[in-house]
């Protein structure tokens, strides 16, 4: 993928507008230059979500729980 418009990133208003356009009319309504920048934004969102997921896996208390059955079966 090429860099969006000389390295310029989309602002929040443009991202909101593109998301609405895709939901309402489909991806064909996005200008190709904006589509590249939007794709870059989506990739960065996925990377952030993946990093947060990795942090939660290592958090204290996550994962294994002490109770393996229902509360009334003890």
Question: Which residues in the chain show pLDDT less than 50?
Answer: 4
Q: What is the pLDDT of residue 2?
A: 55
Distance CA 50, CA 40 (A): 15
Q: What is the pLDDT of residue 43?
A: 92
37, exposed or middle or buried, with CB in 10 Å at 0-12, 13-18, 19+?
A: buried
């Amino acid at each position: 993928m090429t860099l969006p418009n000389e390295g310029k990133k989309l602002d929040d208003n443009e991202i909101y507008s593109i998301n609405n356009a895709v939901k309402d009319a489909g991806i064909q309504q996005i200008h190709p230059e904006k589509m590249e920048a939007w794709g870059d934004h989506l990739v960065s969102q996925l990377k952030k979500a993946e990093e947060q997921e990795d942090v939660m896996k290592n958090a204290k208390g996550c994962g294994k729980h002490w109770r393996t059955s229902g509360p009334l079966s003890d």
